[in-house]
Amino acid sequence: MLYFARWKVAAILGVILLGVLLSLPNVVPRSAIPSWLPARQISLGLDLRGGSYLLLEVDLNAVVRERLESLADGARTRLRQANIGYLNLQAQPAANSLTLRVRDPAQTQAALAALRELANPVPVGGGATAPDVELASQPDGTITATLSEAALRARAGGAVEQSIEIVRRRIDETGVAEALIARQGQSRILVQLPGVEDPNRIKELLGRTARMTFRLLDENANLQAAVPPPGVEFLEGEQPGTRYPVRRRIEVDGANLSDARAGQDSRNGEWVVNFTFDSVGTRRFADITRQNVGRPFAIVLDNKVITAPVIREPITGGRGQISGNFNAAGANDLAVLLRAGALPAPLTVVEERTVGPELGADAIRAGLLSLAVGAAFVIGYMGFAYGLFGWFANLALVVNILLLVAALSLLGATLTLPGIAGIVLTLGTAVDANILINERIREEVKAGRPPISALEAGFTKASGTIMDSNLTNLIAMACLYVLGSGPVRGFAVTVAIGTIASMWSATVLVRLMVSAWYRSRRPKTLPV
């Protein structure tokens, strides 16, 4: 137990050296570190450096609703083309389905065939795909089209992934450095914005779907009518009190934009957004404008008509301008949103935590003070209560903290305020192993064993207990990690790593120190 082969001693010293090297990037500037070393360092959590944490939820119901609406639109067109009369075409978002009744039940099969073509394939695992719509019919001609379970899952997953991408682009546009955007759970997106003290603007940017569409107006519709004619909807304009009869059919989608910039109109100095279509958009826009010269069209953003100009001449260059009573900030924001693309579904902020840098600095100061006082207390207690072996344990404790810092750096972990508390508590739990060993050695000495065998027995017999007792700490921290939310997770990780590091430093390292001391002194009695 007390004999260490030369390579073992070297390995132990190597681990300590590695710990020092890996911890270095936290205290010395990056330029002073040789390039072969991983120059990772512990990053400070938002609660310490200040910043904003947002938890966004993707409205998956909206995704389903939208798919059902497009199914309904498709069904209308297909059934009309096939000359099939129908009644009561209704989307039922609660049941994820669409129902209609065919007027002549004899045409049910024809209707089913027409509707079947509306289904999109979705992956169902194993490389296979299945239609996303399941059709069912009844003898009276009632047809139910239900979105399949796999389709709902695929659509939800896709919507969240796409939202993350859009959120990332929008935040990148605002110039926030080191923003962290990640998926959390089924339908949530976590956004961390270091250094952002007032997340108001970012929340506004993220809160807009920014779906822009170019559509034609129905000039014959009666705006006073209670129900718009089929295929038309009444949408409000930017100015209060204005309403437009907009055709549901989307001629060109905002997804076909390749660029959008805020600018000032050279004639009247008004703020406008200049946009450029991609090749598909350019072609479609040219076609539409060529066929509809003299008619008005609408630019619709999130179900509001921004502007509805009359087409004076075909626009074939793929460039256009949106003018709609913008100020500089409004035009800029719209340009950002159009560049970044539309969200597949609305986002809501369900949790928000913002900490100013002042409070973070206070927290760091308080944390460091507690760490210093805690270390002084524990080191003093161990030294005075256990003598020489206590001081060995203290040395190991310092190495333990060093290894903890090294491991956190290597993982690129984030240090939060609870994380600092974890480090301080590690001070207290780490020496437990040494207390166990010391008590054991003392008992063996009292039982009349000579020093060398008392030392051997102490280390050997205590090791099982140390294993057992530390495992319970790790179990508790695993539970905490699973519960996990940001800062608290940081605590769990810190304590867990500290516990593992202490199992090594308190046993192996202290044993090495005791062995070196014993071989140089050959003491007749042990200082326990």
Partner 1 sequence: MFLSRPLFRIVPDNTQIAFMRGRVLGIAFSALLSVLSLGLAFYPGLEKGIDFRGGIIMEIRTQGPADLGALRGAMGGLDLGDVGLQQFGDDSTVLLRLPVQGQEGEEGATQAAVNAVRGALEQAAPGARILRTEAVGNRVSAELFANSLIALGMSMLAMLVYIWFRFEWQFAVGAIVTLVLETTKVVGFLAITRIEFSLTTVAAVLTIIGFSINDKVVVYDRMRENLRKYKTMPLRQLIDKSINETLNRTVGTSMTLLLSALPLALFGGDALSGFAWTMVFGIIASTSSSIFIAAPILLFLGENRLRRGTEAPAPAAPPGAAPRR
Footprint (CB under 8 A) of partner 1, residues 325-364: 346, 348-356, 358-359, 362-363
**What amino acid is encoded at 474 in this protein?**
L
Choosing from 388, 395, 452, 513, the residue that interacts with partner 1 (CB under 8 A) is 388
C-beta of 333: minimal distance to partner 1 in Å? 15
**What amino acid is encoded at 195 in this protein?**
G
C-beta of 418: minimal distance to partner 1 in Å? 6
Choosing from 435, 452, 508, 513, the residue that interacts with partner 1 (CB under 8 A) is 435
Stretch that binds partner 1, among 221-229, 264-272, 430-438, 506-514 (CB under 8 A): 430-438
Q: Is 427 in the site for partner 1 (CB under 8 A)?
A: yes
CA dist 437 → 2, 431, 444, 458 (Å):
14, 10, 11, 6
Please name the helix (run of DSSP H) or strand (run of DSSP E) that holds residue 326, with its range, or none: strand 319-326
Structure tokens at 19: 């710990």
Q: What angle do CA 414, 418, 422 make, to 5 degrees?
A: 90
Stretch that binds partner 1, among 137-145, 229-237, 313-321, 420-428 (CB under 8 A): 420-428
Choosing from 17, 82, 136, 385, the residue that interacts with partner 1 (CB under 8 A) is 385
Cα(117)–Cα(81) distance, integer angstroms: 13
- Interaction residues for partner 1, span 480-499 (CB under 8 A): 480, 482-483, 485, 487-488, 491-492, 495
Stretch that binds partner 1, among 76-84, 259-267, 292-300, 474-482 (CB under 8 A): 474-482
Contacts of 441 (CB under 8 A, 6+ apart): 389, 454, 455, 457, 458, 459, 526, 528
> Mask 50-79, x = binds partner 1 (CB under 8 A)?
-----x---x--------------------
Closest CB to partner 1 among 367 and 451? 367
Q: Is 200 in the site for partner 1 (CB under 8 A)?
A: yes
Closest CB to partner 1 among 50 and 245? 50
Cα(467)–Cα(478) distance, integer angstroms: 16
Q: Strand, coil or helix: what is 291?
A: helix
The packing angle between helices 417-430 and 432-446, to 10°, is 10
Closest CB to partner 1 among 280 and 371? 371
Closest CB to partner 1 among 315 and 435? 435
In the block, tokens 């333990």 appear at 400
- Interaction residues for partner 1, span 8-27 (CB under 8 A): none
Tell whether the torsion through CA atoms of 345, 346, 351 and 356 is positive or negative.
positive
* CB neighbourhood size of 292 (10 A): 16
In the block, tokens 């137990």 appear at 1
Closest CB to partner 1 among 144 and 184? 184
C-beta of 201: minimal distance to partner 1 in Å? 11
**What amino acid is encoded at 67 in this protein?**
R
C-beta of 244: minimal distance to partner 1 in Å? 24
Closest CB to partner 1 among 231 and 527? 527
CB 344 within 8 A of CB 70: no
CB 314 within 8 A of CB 284: no
- Interaction residues for partner 1, span 155-184 (CB under 8 A): none
Q: Is 473 in the site for partner 1 (CB under 8 A)?
A: yes
Closest CB to partner 1 among 160 and 492? 492
C-beta of 234: minimal distance to partner 1 in Å? 23
CB 424 within 8 A of CB 495: no
Closest CB to partner 1 among 214 and 389? 389
Q: Is 378 in the site for partner 1 (CB under 8 A)?
A: yes
Cα(47)–Cα(362) distance, integer angstroms: 10
Q: Is 417 in the site for partner 1 (CB under 8 A)?
A: yes
Per rule CB under 8 A, count of chain residues that contact partner 1: 80
In the block, tokens 């994820």 appear at 96
Closest CB to partner 1 among 340 and 431? 431
Q: Is 439 in the site for partner 1 (CB under 8 A)?
A: yes
Buried b (16+ CB within 10 A) or exposed e, 358-385: eebeebbeebeeebeebbeebbeebbee
C-beta of 189: minimal distance to partner 1 in Å? 13
Q: Is 304 in the site for partner 1 (CB under 8 A)?
A: no
Q: Is 233 in the site for partner 1 (CB under 8 A)?
A: no
Q: What residues pair up with 414 in beta bridges, in sequence order?
A: 43
Q: Is 374 in the site for partner 1 (CB under 8 A)?
A: yes
Closest CB to partner 1 among 338 and 382? 382
Closest CB to partner 1 among 25 and 50? 50
Question: Which candidate, 130, 129, 76, places its Cα nearest to that of 100?
Answer: 76
Closest CB to partner 1 among 153 and 442? 442
Closest CB to partner 1 among 76 and 353? 353
Cα(438)–Cα(454) distance, integer angstroms: 10
Choosing from 234, 391, 504, 518, the residue that interacts with partner 1 (CB under 8 A) is 391
Structure tokens at 28: 């010395």
Contacts of 309 (CB under 8 A, 6+ apart): 296, 297
List phi, psi (to 5°) of 54: -125, 140
* CB neighbourhood size of 244 (10 A): 21
Alpha helix (H) ranges present in 251-312? 279-291
C-beta of 52: minimal distance to partner 1 in Å? 9
Q: Is 186 in the site for partner 1 (CB under 8 A)?
A: no
Closest CB to partner 1 among 210 and 528? 528
CB 419 within 8 A of CB 494: yes
C-beta of 11: minimal distance to partner 1 in Å? 28
